[in-house]
Structure 1
Amino acid sequence: MSGIYIHIPFCKQACHYCDFHFSTSLKKKDQLVFALAKELQLRKDEFKDTTIETIYFGGGTPSVLSTNELQYLIDSVYLNYKVTDHPEITLEANPDDLIINNIDALSISEVQSLYKTKFEELKKTGINRLSIGVQSFHEKDLKLMNRAHNAIEAKRCLETATQYFDNISLDLIYGIPNSTNQEWLENIQTALSFGIPHISSYALTVEPKTALASFIKKGIIDNVDDDLAHDQFHILIDQLNQAGFEHYELSNFAKKGYYSKNNSAYWLGKSYLGIGPSAHSFNGKQRAWNVKNNTIYIKKINQDQLPLEIEILTKNDKYNEFIMTGLRTIWGVSLTEVKKQFGESFLEYLLQQANQYINNQMLCIVDNRLKTTQKGKFLSDGIASDLFKLR
């Protein structure tokens, strides 16, 4: 089965660390929503022989769309593709888009009615999973990152969302400059207090051409500390293990039965279709990506043209992808599959390159699968790059 990713390139404001494609102007939102629906129609033959298991609204901030716009796009998927009976439909959302602001003048019953209407409307669209970008429950962290919500809104959002949705993921960022391990522990404990069954957590990284990179260069914000990030990563693992979460991918933790089907498909090498500006697609043989420009994207789609570039993957590309995604997951890299898909020479190369990491206990082989150990998890991407075949 396959999945469809729909990129919504709009945000209320720019987070200082973000280098994803987005616009803070919503002027072209209506045009873009129609273009997304049209791209779904234009590309339906690519998945004519497969069943869609997941629909994922990412961004940007998909929660800036109205429920009518989300319903229109979901209906467009059903109109053009064969969809499984119970697909996972995920909406990435920011807390400030899911809660009702300016409620001081309202009665408790009025507030409850507004919340009920908002979340029930989302459920009626078919969305059954929320991925909420909290990032931190500490005000100073949110201000440093230039998030659109505050800590109170984050908690209010989760209090309400858990009343209407069972399948919720929460994003947290660690390694924030001038944060302490105690503050990070408080973030984790606060997240757990809401009974959330899935947590995605990422180290704060400094991407080129972001506001964060500029502030660090100018000395306005301290640089990220790799040792701090390493310590907080292991605090995260310990706390979530104790809370019954399974660490099924480098940045993802879930209670049993709550693995993200959409993201798991990426890591297991399944095909997916990326719709919208900057969205990537993969079919096992080639990778494609749309132009990172809303105006050009809309214009091309309206002319019945697909604004994308295609890369045909070489055997080495496929092998490298297999290693990278496998090492990030609980399943590891199947040595049997390496030999089956790529041949004996690739398997010999992999084992030779992995030997140093096995000796220093950062990798291990269990049930004929190459996996990272607890010691090696934090460095899994770097380890994977050393296992790549470059020629």
Structure 2
Amino acid sequence: MAGIYIHIPFCKKACHYCNFHFSTSLRLKDDMIDAICRELILQNKFLDGEIINTIYFGGGTPSILEPIEIDRILNTIHKYFHVETDIELTLEANPDDLDKKKILALQLSGVNRLSIGVQSFYDRDLEWMNRSHNSGQAHQVIRDAMESGVTNLNIDLIFGSPTTTNEMWENNLSMAMEYGIKHLSCYALTVEDKTALGHFVKTGKEVNPDEKAIQEQYDICRRFLSAKGFIHYEISNYALENHFAIHNTSYWKGLKYLGIGPSSHSFNGFNRYWNVSNNKKYIDSLAHDIVPVEKEKLSETDTFNEYLMTGLRTMWGCDETYVNEKLKTNKDLEHHLNNHLEAGHIKLRNGRYIMTEEAWLTSDSIIADLFIE
């Protein structure tokens, strides 16, 4: 089994915190769809005939496309790849892009999972983030999706914003529960280079996120959702049983996937690939039947480090035997692992090293301690 990711590099507005590749100009949209379809055709052997069980439209803002444009991309996939009948087909969406008519049309195209970038149900948060929707639209799109029969629905929420109090954050979670949402992606606000927020912090217009507030809101999140029966299965993802995101889980478990579109990444089990992060260069290259991709062959060390990085982010963790075998010749790394076990950051359960929920918020530094140089 394998997945296909389609990157749609267009947005109406630039959110202050976002560092994904996108353009706010739609001038090249038609050419981009042509190029995406062309890349799919050229890359149809990449997965060696593996059956496709997930397709994920990300971005950018895929919901900026019309259903007929989504149809064209999906028709190309079905023509050139082996696609499972019971596929998970996700489309990321902004609340202001969807109404009942469009949701129904997307369902007819085969979309059976929506991931909606709500981020907050409070206007003051949304304005600070420079989102293109308001709280009323956030509520309306969820109602429209539910009434249209969408049963597989995720919403994204962001905590740690300077405009978000602990009470507001808990209310955001409560409102999601009132709608019967079964999957939530809850992200801590981070300051990234080459973003408006990064510039504001650098110039003193904003300050770095309050680490104490982020910790408090993270703790509120995991306690609140645990009490509602949600499973915290990855650092930022919570779901009821049988509602985990299949596509994203495949990334964390090291399965194969093909990334299509500018800035997208691919993995075939041995090598990593990434496309150029420039819309015009991407389009021009595909017009000449050249996939604008770079490649990195993963060494055994790279493979192990990535295994740690992805595995320890999840409830499934990493295999004890494999990790011990890799670390046994490096006493410093063995020492670091033992320190984290003693500190309670990592626990050994049923032959798996599992990072505790409490430690996940600082997982990057913990995992880096175990990397083989």
Q: TM-score, normalised by structure 2?
A: 0.97
Whole-angstrom CA distance in 2 between matches of 1:189 and 1:366: 32
Helix, strand or coil for the counterpart of 1:45? Answer: coil
Alpha-carbon deviation of 1:349? 6.8
Whole-angstrom CA distance in 2 between matches of 1:344 and 1:250: 24
Q: Which moved more, 1:347-356 or 1:239-248?
A: 347-356
* Aligned residues between the structures: 372
Q: Which residue of 1 aligns with 2:44?
A: 44
Q: Which moved more, 1:254-263 or 1:216-225?
A: 216-225
**Does structure 2 retain, via aligned residues, the 8 Å contact 1:328–1:381?**
no
What CA RMSD, in Å, does the superposition of the two structures yield over aligned residues?
Answer: 1.5
Task: Please say if 1:375 is aligned against 2:358.
Answer: yes
Task: Please say if 1:94 is aligned against 2:86.
Answer: no
Helix, strand or coil for the counterpart of 1:25? Answer: coil
Whole-angstrom CA distance in 2 between matches of 1:272 and 1:209: 27
Whole-angstrom CA distance in 2 between matches of 1:161 and 1:301: 35
Q: Which residue of 2 aligns with 1:159?
A: 143
Task: Please say if 1:227 is aligned against 2:212.
Answer: yes
Alpha-carbon deviation of 1:348? 7.2
Q: Which residue of 2 aligns with 1:268?
A: 253
| Distance verdict in 2 for CA 1:235–1:346, change over 3 Å | farther
| Distance verdict in 2 for CA 1:84–1:346, change over 3 Å | farther
**Does structure 2 retain, via aligned residues, the 8 Å contact 1:178–1:222?**
no
Whole-angstrom CA distance in 1 between matches of 2:349 and 2:123: 43
| Distance verdict in 2 for CA 1:260–1:308, change over 3 Å | same
Alpha-carbon deviation of 1:368? 1.2
Consecutive unaligned residues in structure 1, runs of 5 or more: 100-114
Q: Which residue of 1 aligns with 2:348?
A: 365
| Distance verdict in 2 for CA 1:343–1:205, change over 3 Å | closer
Alpha-carbon deviation of 1:44? 0.5
**Does structure 2 retain, via aligned residues, the 8 Å contact 1:338–1:347?**
no
Whole-angstrom CA distance in 2 between matches of 1:65 and 1:347: 51
Q: What code does the residue aligned with 2:136 have?
A: I
Whole-angstrom CA distance in 2 between matches of 1:353 and 1:254: 32
**Does structure 2 retain, via aligned residues, the 8 Å contact 1:200–1:253?**
yes
Alpha-carbon deviation of 1:179? 2.1
Task: Please say if 1:179 is aligned against 2:164.
Answer: yes
**Does structure 2 retain, via aligned residues, the 8 Å contact 1:5–1:57?**
yes
| Distance verdict in 2 for CA 1:357–1:338, change over 3 Å | closer
Q: Which residue of 2 aligns with 1:142?
A: 126
**Residues 192-219 of structure 1: CA deviation (Å, up to 9, x unaligned):** 1111110001111100121111222333
Whole-angstrom CA distance in 1 between matches of 2:70 and 2:14: 22
Whole-angstrom CA distance in 2 between matches of 1:186 and 1:343: 45
Q: What code does the residue aligned with 1:289 have?
A: W
Q: What code does the residue aligned with 2:172 have?
A: N
Q: Which residue of 1 aligns with 2:368?
A: 385
Alpha-carbon deviation of 1:118? 2.2
| Distance verdict in 2 for CA 1:308–1:191, change over 3 Å | same
**Residues 80-126 of structure 1: CA deviation (Å, up to 9, x unaligned):** 10011111000000000013xxxxxxxxxxxxxxx2x3221110000
Partner residue of 2:102 out of 95, 118, 125: 118
Helix, strand or coil for the counterpart of 1:12? Answer: coil
**Residues 258-305 of structure 1: CA deviation (Å, up to 9, x unaligned):** 100000000000010000000000112110000011111011111011
Task: Please say if 1:320 is aligned against 2:301.
Answer: no
Consecutive unaligned residues in structure 2, runs of 5 or more: none
**Does structure 1 retain, via aligned residues, the 8 Å contact 2:254–2:269?**
yes
Whole-angstrom CA distance in 1 between matches of 2:223 and 2:118: 21
Whole-angstrom CA distance in 1 between matches of 2:327 and 2:199: 47
**Does structure 2 retain, via aligned residues, the 8 Å contact 1:6–1:276?**
yes
Whole-angstrom CA distance in 1 between matches of 2:271 and 2:196: 33
Alpha-carbon deviation of 1:343? 5.0
Alpha-carbon deviation of 1:372? 1.3
Residue pairs, 1:27-42, within 5 angstroms? 27-42=27-42
Residue pairs, 1:36-115, within 5 angstroms? 36-99=36-99, 115=100
**Residues 40-63 of structure 1: CA deviation (Å, up to 9, x unaligned):** 000001123311110000000000
Partner residue of 2:235 out of 226, 247, 250: 250
Alpha-carbon deviation of 1:351? 4.1
**Does structure 1 retain, via aligned residues, the 8 Å contact 2:39–2:291?**
yes
**Does structure 2 retain, via aligned residues, the 8 Å contact 1:36–1:73?**
yes
Whole-angstrom CA distance in 1 between matches of 2:330 and 2:241: 32
Whole-angstrom CA distance in 2 between matches of 1:88 and 1:82: 14
Percentage of identical aligned residues: 45
Q: What code does the residue aligned with 1:354 have?
A: L
Whole-angstrom CA distance in 2 between matches of 1:355 and 1:130: 42
Q: What code does the residue aligned with 1:130 have?
A: L
Q: What code does the residue aligned with 2:116 have?
A: I
Alpha-carbon deviation of 1:334? 1.0
Helix, strand or coil for the counterpart of 1:265? Answer: helix
Alpha-carbon deviation of 1:311? 0.5
**Does structure 2 retain, via aligned residues, the 8 Å contact 1:250–1:328?**
yes
Alpha-carbon deviation of 1:250? 0.6
